[in-house]
Structure 1
């Protein structure tokens, strides 16, 4: 475009026999004006529609250090426009009256986090596959992603299928126009377990964890996936018995004593086993992302003792220091240590691991949970949910992080 304008102006001046010196000053001024206009148009388009110019995106910036700032434009979608929201995350359908918690965006300290661009995302994943492996927090992020892509993908283009009779736990979505597959491989412990939770989801029943054996529910599927996203944590608060090499090596809240302290042996080895399983897959060539522990926000009591999360606004980074839920620091530190060791080993084998460090980011969002507008997944019963995230809501930011990290991995 710039070259065409230049030639047109030169020819016009030459046809009129105007001296070159007379041409240079106004021509130079005009070129500067045109360049400024093009730059401003690009910046405006990027801001409004999220189609950021990749050359200006800062991939050296720590996007996980920052604060939440006001954003008047509101969310990408509504609970009415997106058909993929799980019943228990549909806060507005269940009566949540406030909307202020939707008018905030994450602002890193030293750069801008681009808006989510559905077209750009689908271009990146054309012909690829993505698996969310973990508990319902991973499903929360996957459903957010489906809602974000819903603005571009045609409803008739998307097909769903299930890998079991229970579509709560295993679900695959296929975007035919893009040949893109996304799935949730629901595995709350990542390792093999006695699966008593399938019949009773209460936190009082003991669960046997075989911490040196990956759960085949996900491990038998991921060899050919291009992106694998691990998350998990909330299920590790319950009574647990740890097995290694077929023998008991420890337990948590033994004999169902709920006041016993946390024993993070199972949590540490669950991630260690999961990472080792991926690293040792002979044919695996994909990218692994780990989402750090998603904090709960029960205040004025524990989850089963009247605690709730009735805030309607974010808190600052400084204020979040007073909202640290039980076990958060220990869970986070354990995850990061295991990830760091695995990332080093993976890099030596030519594999790519990335850390989606959302713990501190989401600690500042006590306003983003369903609270008393939460519902049980199995039946129409209200629950005080300060663990999962409303949709739309701050969980959509995770997929802004995801897109940024995916673009960074392509460099």
Structure 2
């Protein structure tokens, strides 16, 4: 059973005594008008007022259902939490995603759906890297592919590749950040590429592979990834430095990266994992061209706040909110300590095959609060793609020992040493990042 924030109550049963109700309404002076009839009359009156105050031709079916609450989230089919009962998808345009009403997609539960099929596989999508193709790398179980996120208070629309591409027609969508963000980019590309003819889709890379561009020619759109793990400039932007002690950030400069972001229609940022290398971050003011001797070790949270302020200042000064939409993906949880979800005999996320019922952290990370406090003060609005809480339960969704090391898929000997080799940071694809993109799709 997967935990949830609230338990939906069962739907009321309709009355079975129709004939007695008719008899009472005809013979009794105290005639009873059913509540459903009153509700219908109110809705009808509201619709008549609406039709008289606006031209019918100017209204779409979407606007009618937004203004009249007769078909709202309460009309969604109910299911019993913990029963394993699946709530079927509603493929109905009347239930349009409303960000004002559905402002917390992170509240919900994972429901197992044996009939759920990912939109792609490692075989059907050539754009996946070996690091995340768990099934192709030998993962034996498949249940992790059949868990579906269902929000408590609203309907999260089904991802439709053709609709997504139509919404992106003539636009650039760019994911900016680290390898977690690259995974979300790969997921999005794979979710849409299947409907594009082979001669209408192309992938290009910059020489350093820091900028990846997927082009859908027919739709005149690009879905891009840009490598900037700290958002601000660093000496690990072009050639990755594996030793955290040798990484140096230019904490007050972002222009080198930002020139790539100009003119993009939809920007999706993240920055988290690379900040978790230790209590101090080597930070430099001034140009790398003047040498790297002037850096100092800053407290991690202080450096993070300064870097995000540099990012926010550039956004507010250079971005036109009427042209460009901004998103920020919240932190992607790692699952290193199996005690956090009650598996005292476990080894990190190794051999986990289903979502955890509850995850209790022994520490509280303040980085999301830093992001939130800075975004609140920005001139340009930023929409959060809240993935943290829903991903927290998915201890089964990580690469674990079905990834790669130094560019090669793990050997049997390496898989037998999960304490050293299990990757509990990155996610299998298909997998959890597909749900992140379903949320992004809802906001497009």
Q: Where on the TM-score scale, by shorter chain, does this alignment land: which range?
A: 0.7 to 0.9
Which region of structure 1 is more displaced relative to structure 2, 287-296 or 372-381?
372-381
Match of 2:297 in 1: 251
Match of 2:277 in 1: 238
Match of 1:63 in 2: 105
Match of 2:146 in 1: 103
Match of 2:441 in 1: 403
Confirm or deny that 1:274 pairs with 2:311: yes
- Provide the secondary structure at the position in 2 that maps to 1:185: strand
- Provide the secondary structure at the position in 2 that maps to 1:370: strand
- Provide the secondary structure at the position in 1 that maps to 2:262: helix
Confirm or deny that 1:367 pairs with 2:407: no
Shift of 1:73: 2.2
Q: 1:99 to 1:269 in 2, by over 3 A?
A: same
Shift of 1:339: 2.3
CA distance in 1, matches of 2:339, 2:247: 25
Q: TM-score, normalised by structure 1?
A: 0.74
* C-alpha contact (below 8 Å) 1:298/1:309 kept by paired residues: no
Shift of 1:361: 1.2
Runs of 4+ with deviation above 4 angstroms: 47-52, 245-250
Q: CA RMSD in A?
A: 2.8
* C-alpha contact (below 8 Å) 2:213/2:224 kept by paired residues: yes
Alignment of 1:298-317 (within 5 A): 298-300=336-338, 307-316=348-357
Total equivalences in the alignment: 335
CA distance in 1, matches of 2:88, 2:349: 36
Shift of 1:360: 0.9
Shift of 1:144: 0.2
Runs of at least 5 residues in structure 1 that lack an aligned partner in the other structure: 1-38, 253-261, 347-351, 407-411
Match of 2:166 in 1: 123
Which region of structure 1 is more displaced relative to structure 2, 239-248 or 396-405?
239-248
Q: 1:196 to 1:86 in 2, by over 3 A?
A: closer
Match of 1:161 in 2: 204
Match of 1:256 in 2: none
Confirm or deny that 1:184 pairs with 2:216: no
CA distance in 2, matches of 1:143, 1:129: 15
CA distance in 2, matches of 1:173, 1:385: 27
CA distance in 1, matches of 2:213, 2:319: 24
Structure with greater proportional helix content? 1
* C-alpha contact (below 8 Å) 1:229/1:289 kept by paired residues: yes
- Provide the secondary structure at the position in 2 that maps to 1:213: coil
Confirm or deny that 1:79 pairs with 2:122: yes
Q: 1:178 to 1:236 in 2, by over 3 A?
A: same
Confirm or deny that 1:289 pairs with 2:331: no
* C-alpha contact (below 8 Å) 1:211/1:242 kept by paired residues: yes
CA distance in 2, matches of 1:56, 1:212: 42
* C-alpha contact (below 8 Å) 1:50/1:116 kept by paired residues: no
Give 2:373's match in structure 1, choosing from 323, 327, 337: 337
